[in-house]
Amino acid sequence: DLDRFKQINDTYGHPTGDVILYETSRILREAAREIDMIGRYGGEEFIAILPGATEEAAARFAERVRERVAAHVYRDEAVEVRMTLSSGVASFPEIAADNPDLLLKRADEALYAAKEGGRNRVARASQTASSTPA
């Protein structure tokens, strides 16, 4: 989730927001393995499906992306913007064996914990209060 994206979009306009979304997707694709699936999940949210990755490996991926986003200068014709990114990480089978809906819920809870923790960070579902199976 791109931190404060709505504020940036409202301040600088949708063309700047589009540049940010496009360049963030490029950063994600460059960090991913060939077998990984990257997509926009809605608004300013992206999803990365990392087949065979442990929660530890997924957290390393998310941290690598977070660092690259924070270091990147987003430019369009009128403005230069820096962004930060918060991530929630959840993994099969540690968090939600054979239950994709629960996996997404746990990842979202971890994302919320990252936001509550000050943004620009990665949080793991296994380390949040709601990480026990439902």
Question: Which residue in 23, 30, 34, 44 is the catalytic one?
Answer: 44
Domain annotation covers residue 47: yes
Q: What is the pLDDT of residue 94?
A: 63
DSSP string, 56-108: HHHHHHHHHHHHHHHHPEEE-SS-EEE--B-EEE--TTTTTTT-HHHHHHHHH
**Total domain count for the chain?**
1
Is 44 assigned a catalytic role? yes
pTM (2 d.p.)? 0.89
Domain annotation covers residue 57: yes
Task: Give the range of the structural domain holding residue 56, as residue numbers without chain letter.
Answer: 5-127
Domain annotation covers residue 46: yes
Stretch 54-67: mean pLDDT, rounded? Answer: 96
Domain annotation covers residue 132: no
Domain annotation covers residue 33: yes
Domain annotation covers residue 134: no
The CATH number assigned to the domain holding 21 equals 3.30.70.270
pLDDT at 132 over 60: no
